[in-house]
Structure 1
Amino acid sequence: MDGFKIHRKREKKKQNSDQQTEQKTNSQTDALTPEDRQLDEFLQLCKKSADFVSFRYSEESGYYIHYYKSMVDPDVLHRYILPYVNGEKRVGTLFGLQCVLPIDGTQVVKDVEKISEAVMSGAVLIQTKGNLKEVLTVPAVSIEKRAVSLPEVEYSVVGPKEAFVESIDANLNLVRKRLPVPELIVQELKVGRLTKTRVAIVYMDKIANEENVNTVMQRIEDFDYDKVIDSSILAQLISDNSSSPFPQMIDTERPDRVVGVLTEGKIALIVDGSPHVLTGPTPLEEFFSAFEDYYLPWHFASAFRLIRLFAVFFSVISTPLYVAVLTYHYEMIPQNLLSPLIASRSGIPFPPIIEACILELTIELLREAGARLPTKIGQTIGIVGGIVIGTAAVQAGLTSNVLLILVALAALASFTTPVYQMGNVIRLIRFPFLLFAQLWGLVGVTFCFALFIGHILKLTSLGRPYIAPVYPLRLVDLKDSLFRLPNYLQKNRPTQLRSDVSKRFNLKSHKWRDHDIED
């Protein structure tokens, strides 16, 4: 019985002690201000993550340290922070510690939102025992990035061989080293309620039109979206018409192209985490111009641009014309070509539209398989698969030799588009043309063509006409659109950009050609 009484007494003492502790904790919690509670709740939320480190450094220093170990550089932490927190270099206050830390960007803050933004950006939080309301934020982010490599999408034989990477700071460095002037302005915003992605708006002061810059800034600030993890998502959010299949901003991976458009008065958008940069305003003709054209003599550049335009037109219109002519307009086929064409289609059980759809879908399947598989396997699928499937389809009597040649040439012609986004558009718009060709023949093809022309006429890029300088007509800008004339004839920047400084250079005469040093 005595032992039982002793046990009961111990339990009562323990309950009384727990009640006193709980009352003391409640009184302390009630004494906290709303700001203190927010900070405490924020730290408790962070401690739920396994990679969040929170500890008291030592009894002597009285400092509390919090950080995400997955985002903090351990070398910075152990070399430039912890030695100044403890030992002989102990200073006792946050402001004193801030003065001795050999790291830039440290701040003593009370705002929980700023503290949250700092720690989620890779900062170390430091608190003192006597003052838990203020926090010293010390930048120590660990930056993981890949090295600058060759362009993979916009590869060129001549010109620079550098491409953007996923780091926004590295991408800004690639741009600034090519434009080492203070007129290159960079304004940074954070977009995405969850991702807090850094977006840099880059333009040339007094060259870029202020209205274009304000348009971009307003569109980025107006939309409320939870995630922006790539430049392509940002392009869809700020485009003039996001429902249009035609891209209204160029997505490029080449720093030289970005520098080129910046000097013309355009704007570049660099998104952290994306190896591609958006540029605009962008007219339609720019999607068919490779920046490699400016590294070649103007004769070759003009010829290559015209070849690309013809290739795109052929890629879109060849298969629909085949369906329209064989379905409604046999009389348009020359007599010498009519006999082999009929012979190639003899024994085929499908009408021309089904025959064309089978081959077009086969080409698209091969493209997707080649793009999604590893590089070596993808090349094998594209070459071997095309030969085997095409030959088997002809021998099985599913398609004709003539259509197989047309579809293969159309697929080859679509690859000449230098901008990948526009290449996807060319792949897509062939199918509406096929449908209209089956319904009304050449009248249907013409009607579909008129629909697309009407849609393009209404499109704008950051408020500027999409098919300029053709509409509205700007004869001066035609010098560098469908073809490219010599550089000395392009003294002015594009008029549609309304640049504050229209002249690019002054070249009064070309008499220097007749006055060499030897003369």
Structure 2
Amino acid sequence: MFKWKAEKKQPMESTAHSLSVDELKKQLEEELASRSDISFRTLKVEGKRVLFSFLPSLIDQNKLDEFVLQPIQRNSKKDMTVEVAAQVLPISQLSASNQLNEIVESIAEGNVYIYIDGEPCGLLANVSSTAERSLEKGETEALVYGPKISFTESLQVNVNILMSNLKDANLCIQDVEVGTRVKARIKLVYIKDIADPTNIESFQQRISELQVDYIPDTTVLGQLIENNSWTVFPQLMTTELPDRISNAIVNGKVAVLMDRSPAALYGPTPFFTFFESTEDIYMRWNMAFFLRLLRLTAIFLSVLLTPAYVAVLTYHYEVIPSALLVSLGQSRANVPFPPVFEAFLLEFVIELLREAGARLPTKVGQTMGIVGGIVIGQAAVDAGFTSNILIIIIALSALGSFTTPSYLMGTAIRIIRFPIIVLAGLWGGIGIMIAFCFFLIHLLKLDTLGTPYLSPAYPFRWKDLGYSMFRFPIKYLSYRPATNHPVDGDRYPTIKAKVKKDVDE
């Protein structure tokens, strides 16, 4: 039986007979009154009227003509029914429906509804046309080695890329739908005999319990399902690189793909994960080892260099070598501001240059960032607003924050410098230690999907250091990181990996 009439938040009422084409057309016009482009096409086939309802702006007109209208018009059978129409339509995505709400939602997604006069239900055929961009090189995560391809806004294309990378029979792709007003299709991707069931259930539960009208992107989804929304540190990683997602899944993590989003989300992602680059996998282990140490050192200096300058010049002159103290005094002789104000001024200018360079077109932004930094820095020194030494320190701090592969973590590092500078100006070295202890305690309290945020440093797992803080030779990484709690913890036999054989053996 039909169940056409449906008021908002009320169950649908059933009718005692099937609707006519005219009655259905009238109800669809009422439900889609806000869509002025709703179109109807009526054909008479074997004595029965067939109604086609669709939105022209969302469908592929060629698909409608070739795969829907022409097959039904060429039908040679005497009686046109729903079963006959389903047999003659050469469309894989075809479903029957007699629920008005479902029909309206499907039409709004690019489906055409086919209803034959007097039949108990109609058919929904997917002939949608979506605007998609071609596969391109990643923009936000630049690589020297490894695949350069990035995700697109098409969920189907992104799934195809991952399936071509991970041709594993145990690869699982689960469908989830979220959004009370605008529905968003989400897919959970993992390998069922590797991924921890607890992590899978955590993702499923947190996403299914969301009561949000609209989620535009995976970055917003990550903010909604993370544990602590007030912290500046991201707790789930977003990336536009399919090979990064593939490696994470093989190591026991769970990935999330979302329609209309060019980035994927995966977890659990502890703190040190954000300093890993995908090309570390493709480089020789000693080069990758050096680069990871370089990034971690650069971040440490980025956070502490400017506060140390403020603390030393305000309270701790005795730690400065006498030779440097003379040149430092000459550099600051014409600066009328205290060190804390001087540091804040330059940090603010650097952030302005960085934000302006990111918002302008690529070529203009690069030119403006380089020229603007040189001109403003030199002008600030000549005008007596700052010293030469602070210009060097600020530049090194900015460069250190830019070495972070993750844009979100790099931004978080730049933000936490400001409160540390304030405490350094108030209490010197003691203020820096107070800020350092505060952030350390804060990081110890955080977790990502139940995994400690500072893992494998806390709790300490020395084997996992080769996957996070350092990079060991591949033949010694025969296990998966214990931090991810993988079901299958072995990648390959350790003994066989270490045995070297010549060709003649």
- TM-score, scaled to structure 1: 0.90
CA contact (8 A) 1:64 1:128 kept: yes
Q: Residue in 2 aligned with 1:92?
A: 80
Q: Which amino acid aligns with 2:129?
A: S
1:294-315 Cα distance to aligned partner (Å, 9 max, x none): 1111111111100000100111
1:46 to 2:36 alignment:
no
The structure having more radius of gyration, on CA atoms, is: 1
Quick one: which of 463, 470, 477 aligns to 1:476? Answer: 463
Q: Which residue of 2 aligns with 1:12?
A: none
Please tell me whether residue 516 in structure 1 is matched to residue 505 in structure 2: no
Q: Percent identity?
A: 41
Aligned counterparts of 1:279 and 1:411: Cα–Cα separation in 2: 28
Tell me how far apart the structure 1 counterparts of residues 324 and 471 of structure 2 sit (CA, whole Å).
38
After superposition, the Cα gap between the structure-2 partners of 1:116 and 1:339, relative to the gap in structure 1 and judged at 3 Å, is same
Contact 2:31 2:104 in 1 (8 A): no
SS in 2 for 1:485: coil
Q: Match for residue 3 of structure 2?
A: none
- Residues 244-255 of structure 1 mapped to structure 2, 5 A cutoff: 244-255=231-242
Q: Does 1:205 align with 2:175?
A: no
2:114 aligned with 1:126, yes or no? Answer: yes
Q: Which position in structure 1 is the counterpart of 2:181?
A: 194
Shift in Å at residue 474 of structure 1? 1.0
1:320-362 deviations in whole A, cap 9, x for unaligned? 1111111111111111110000100011111111111111010
Equivalent position of 2:224 in the other structure: 237
Q: 1:260 aligns with which of 247, 250, 254?
A: 247
Aligned partner letter, 1:475: W
* RMSD across aligned positions (CA): 2.1
Distance, in Å, in 2 between the alignment partners of 1:149 and 1:83 is 37
Q: Write the distance in 2 (CA, Å) between the matches of 1:356 and 1:116.
A: 59
Question: What does residue 117 of structure 1 align with?
Answer: 105
- Deviation by residue 1:79-129 (Cα, 9 ceiling, x = unmatched): 111113336547522222112111123222112233233222211011223
- Report if aligned partners of 2:190, 2:255 keep a CA contact under 8 Å in 1: yes
SS in 2 for 1:376: helix
Secondary structure, counterpart of 1:251 in structure 2: strand
| CA offset digits 1:170-196 (Å, max 9, x no partner) | 111111111112211000111111221
For residue 156 of structure 1, what is the aligned residue in structure 2?
143
Check the 8 A contact 2:475/2:498 in 1, yes or no.
Answer: no
AA aligned opposite 1:45: E
How far apart in 2 are the matches of 1:80 and 1:112? 24
1:391 aligns with 2:382: no
Classify 1:138/1:510 alpha carbon distance in 2 versus 1 (closer, same or farther; 3 Å).
closer
Could you say which residue in structure 1 is the equivalent of 2:298? Answer: 311
Alignment-derived partner of residue 472 in structure 2: 485
Match of 1:332?
319
Q: 1:189 to 1:40 in 2, by over 3 A?
A: farther
CA contact (8 A) 2:217 2:258 kept: yes
Q: Deviations over 1:412-453 (max 9, x none)?
A: 111110111111101111101011111111101100010100
Q: 1:262 to 1:230 in 2, by over 3 A?
A: same
Q: Which residue of 2 is the match for residue 20 of structure 1?
A: none
Q: Secondary structure at the match of 1:473?
A: coil
Q: Which runs of 4+ in 1 moved over 6 A?
A: 33-39
User: How many Å separate the matches in 2 of 1:122 and 1:159?
Assistant: 37
Q: Write the deviation string for residues 194-222 of structure 1: whole angstroms up to 9, x where unpaired.
A: 22111110000110011110010000011
Cα 1:342/1:313, change in 2 over 3 Å:
same
The whole-number CA distance in structure 1 between the counterparts of 2:17 and 2:225 is 38
Aligned positions of 1:51-70 closer than 5 A: 51-58=37-44, 61-70=48-57
Listed one character per residue, the Cα deviations across residues 356-408 of structure 1 (whole Å, up to 9, x for unaligned) are 11110100000110001111111111011111111111111111000011101
2:253–2:268 CA contact under 8 A, matched in 1: yes
On the 8 A contact 1:302/1:485 being kept in 2, the answer is: yes
Change (3 A) 1:363 1:463: same
**Contact 1:47–1:53, Cα closer than 8 Å, also in 2:** no
3-state SS of 2:365 partner: helix
Distance 2:55 2:444 in 1: 52
Unaligned runs of 5+ in 2: 1-12
Q: How many residues are treated as equivalent by the alignment?
A: 488
- Which of 453, 460, 472 is the matching residue for 2:447? 460
Structure 1: runs of 5+ lacking an equivalent: 1-29
2:340 alignment partner, one of 328, 343, 353: 353
Deviations 1:116-156 (A, max 9, x none): 3322221101122334x622211111132111111111111
**Corresponding residue SS for 1:198:** strand
Contact 1:191-1:198 within 8 A present in 2 as well? yes
Specify whether residues 486 and 87 from structure 1 end up closer, same or farther in structure 2 by C-alpha distance, changes over 3 A only. Answer: closer
Using the size of structure 2 for normalisation, the TM-score is 0.93
